[in-house]
Structure 1
């Protein structure tokens, strides 16, 4: 057991040793990108530069993966004067509802958003209230042209390093295919890909965000600040916008870092394992950092006790059992909008990913080596093949999505170390229920 504990901490130490250099790489890349966005704003004041959010740097330092990072470009528009026309979700469970941004006929101060480069005149002549809409596809085209012009200007005036220096930009990677503009920024030997996303800031919140009150342990003031931010709008199609909860989720993750325990350490370890083992060093498609972040947020709700996160190996398994259940049932609920399945339509081979994650959970030592010489004796597998049947239960009966059910899974993986009598009793009751169910089905 002592050897296992040291292995987990040795792996975490290796990850932490890279945090400072990664943070420095991100800072250099962000400085370059901000210089370009400042020029974009000078060319077209409708596009703002947001200096207020430092959560991307925080998340980048936690990661080993090289997935793209979002860089939001706020639009200078008074959303309270706009008509936000809700259209509903494309399919039940697909996610946030779509909407259109209508411009009132009598609106004052929106003239700059009624120019044809970003505006589409309404074809409904009977609509006395709305004269047309701000179209995200057109906004993206304008922003793309501005970015190209800004990069040329900044290089010509030496506002950003040339391509051979420490930081450079690859304008050739700009595209509109994914409803954002992808820009590759070199920082030293590392290349960081940013997704440039136009965003409409909204002051009013959404009822679904009240679910963050279920996040135990976070100070009340933190929750109030997250709730008070509101819900932003980002492109969902060339014609439609959708709500985005990326900022409040990142705020929740940052809040977890203020609590004692290994919550964020567990995320860093799983992201490194995902990148190196489950995605073959980033060469294969698979889970993203955001998928793992959602699993951690759910685990933090399901396991609120500080003792759940006091020991590193146990903390990792709290996230693992949630992740395995989601993969087995093919449903990762959005923490703030549980009806939205984050695995739906992701295009991933979830069965293959499940097999890799289960293999790690059963015998993690193989993936925790930093170098082949660090690998000692491999303990036997922790579980048998029957665990997948247990993991399928929430798909047919959502009432299993409870701490007692996940405690049963922790016990299966030999990492249930809780002494609370009520919790042990609840876990044992759920275990008996699953045994009875298995007997009836057989």
Structure 2
């Protein structure tokens, strides 16, 4: 007699069945792109080729969404020889600071970066810099190189006809977009010129989060440096995308369902909350950030031993962030990843809360799986409880999120200290819950 697979695991099996093909699709598309970038490097050695994209392939396999992927093009320049001039808070991306890349007076070994195609001389007297490497100029040079490289590769049969579209290169963005065909799938890559800086970056601080990761992981990952990417015509910004992908890879050493929870929520987000990707909404990076916070807030192995409970650990963090309209970056302080992207946070919250209350309907792979849904796990009066960390950051603790897990009927921890801490927070919130419930 066949063993009946629980609904949550049935849904996960459907996602996992696509992982191998997605890795293969990524690798085929990557081969096309690397062939072009190798030609770019031949034409201009200032632009390097990064061959270490195994983590990106691993991350792509976890996803159901088809959001663009970043492909970094490292700059051949000694970052330690440059002067990093901080300009103030960034309005874009996940970095807290804007900066300019200055070339000091009398610098040697930087002559190739002092040519007019990428360099602007300083008009201010008495400065430490003779001028600056301008991101807008770097992007313009890289765009021309990509066009020339694509023409060369097509003419010499190095890439298959129709495997790459450069029409989107005309877009005015802080990156260069290329659409690469991989079998039946088309993958969009954002080509980003990048300078990796290994010295300290203001605002980068994750040392207190270490309980959720193997010992020394955060310090080791951060020691690789932070990428500086274009943030405007003159300014660069710090970007932690590479570091977060490395942290995501570190989660693979754990037993449990950490990565499975991310894959499952990304599938639900793509298929149901974003209507198959046709509607705007949360990105994979939003969900990845929620998972990393959940891993920090729930470091115990038993929190991730059961699939449904693992998903809810990420979900309660995400719900709290949506209710308070604030998703802090994992490694930087003072930023909000939910702002600036034109997201309808009210609509996204309704989708996420609806799934948390009655997840079964979203876990049906096709119509033959339709059946009776379980009753709602919690009433509609939970939003006020979810908003507490916005008014008092002291609630951003494991005990608070344990209360949320208990409200959704997925708190199964037996540790007496955890239970006592949860009950203490619960007593503080009971009056609020009774008013709004």
- Fold similarity call, TM over 0.5: yes
- The residue number in structure 1 matching 2:427 is 432
TM-score, normalised by the number of residues in structure 1: 0.95
More deviation in 90-99 or 180-189? 90-99
Whether 1:283 aligns to 2:246 is: no
Does the 8 Å CA contact 1:216/1:304 hold for their aligned counterparts? yes
Q: Deviations over 1:89-142 (max 9, x none)?
A: 046998420000011120001111111111111110232x21110000010000
- The residue number in structure 2 matching 1:82 is 82
1:224–1:211 CA distance, 2 compared to 1 (3 A): closer
Cα distance in 1 for residues equivalent to 2:218 and 2:393: 27
- The residue number in structure 1 matching 2:362 is 367
Cα distance in 2 for residues equivalent to 1:207 and 1:240: 16
Q: Secondary structure at the match of 1:424?
A: helix
- The residue number in structure 1 matching 2:56 is 56
Q: Unaligned regions of 5+ residues in structure 2, if any? A: none
Cα distance in 2 for residues equivalent to 1:401 and 1:203: 30
Does the 8 Å CA contact 2:71/2:189 hold for their aligned counterparts? yes
- The residue number in structure 2 matching 1:378 is 373
Q: How does 1:75-224 map to 2 (within 5 A)?
A: 75-90=75-90, 95-127=95-127, 129-163=128-162, 168-206=163-201, 208-212=203-207, 214-216=209-211, 218-220=213-215, 222-224=217-219
Q: Unaligned regions of 5+ residues in structure 1, if any? A: none
1:198–1:176 CA distance, 2 compared to 1 (3 A): farther
Does the 8 Å CA contact 1:278/1:286 hold for their aligned counterparts? yes
Does the 8 Å CA contact 2:303/2:309 hold for their aligned counterparts? yes
Cα deviation, residue 232, structure 1: 1.5
1:438–1:317 CA distance, 2 compared to 1 (3 A): closer
Cα deviation, residue 305, structure 1: 0.6
TM-score, normalised by the number of residues in structure 2: 0.96
Cα deviation, residue 243, structure 1: 0.8
Whether 1:387 aligns to 2:382 is: yes
Q: Secondary structure at the match of 1:220?
A: coil
Does the 8 Å CA contact 1:184/1:194 hold for their aligned counterparts? yes
Whether 1:270 aligns to 2:270 is: no
Cα distance in 1 for residues equivalent to 2:218 and 2:389: 28
When the two structures are aligned, how many residues end up with a matched partner?
Answer: 435
Counterpart of 2:330 (choices 335, 346, 349) is 335
Cα distance in 2 for residues equivalent to 1:421 and 1:64: 38
Counterpart of 2:405 (choices 410, 413, 427) is 410
Cα distance in 2 for residues equivalent to 1:108 and 1:347: 45
- The residue number in structure 2 matching 1:297 is 292
Cα distance in 1 for residues equivalent to 2:297 and 2:115: 50
Does the 8 Å CA contact 1:70/1:197 hold for their aligned counterparts? yes
Q: Secondary structure at the match of 1:191?
A: strand
- The residue number in structure 2 matching 1:14 is 14
Q: Secondary structure at the match of 1:229?
A: coil
Cα distance in 2 for residues equivalent to 1:152 and 1:373: 49
Counterpart of 1:253 (choices 233, 248, 252) is 248
Whether 1:235 aligns to 2:235 is: no
Q: Secondary structure at the match of 2:99?
A: strand
Q: Secondary structure at the match of 2:372?
A: coil
Cα deviation, residue 374, structure 1: 1.1
Cα distance in 1 for residues equivalent to 2:89 and 2:42: 36
Cα deviation, residue 346, structure 1: 1.7
Over aligned residues, Cα RMSD in angstroms?
1.9
Q: Deviations over 1:39-86 (max 9, x none)?
A: 000000000001123211010000000000000000001111111101
- The residue number in structure 2 matching 1:40 is 40
- The residue number in structure 2 matching 1:421 is 416
1:107–1:346 CA distance, 2 compared to 1 (3 A): same
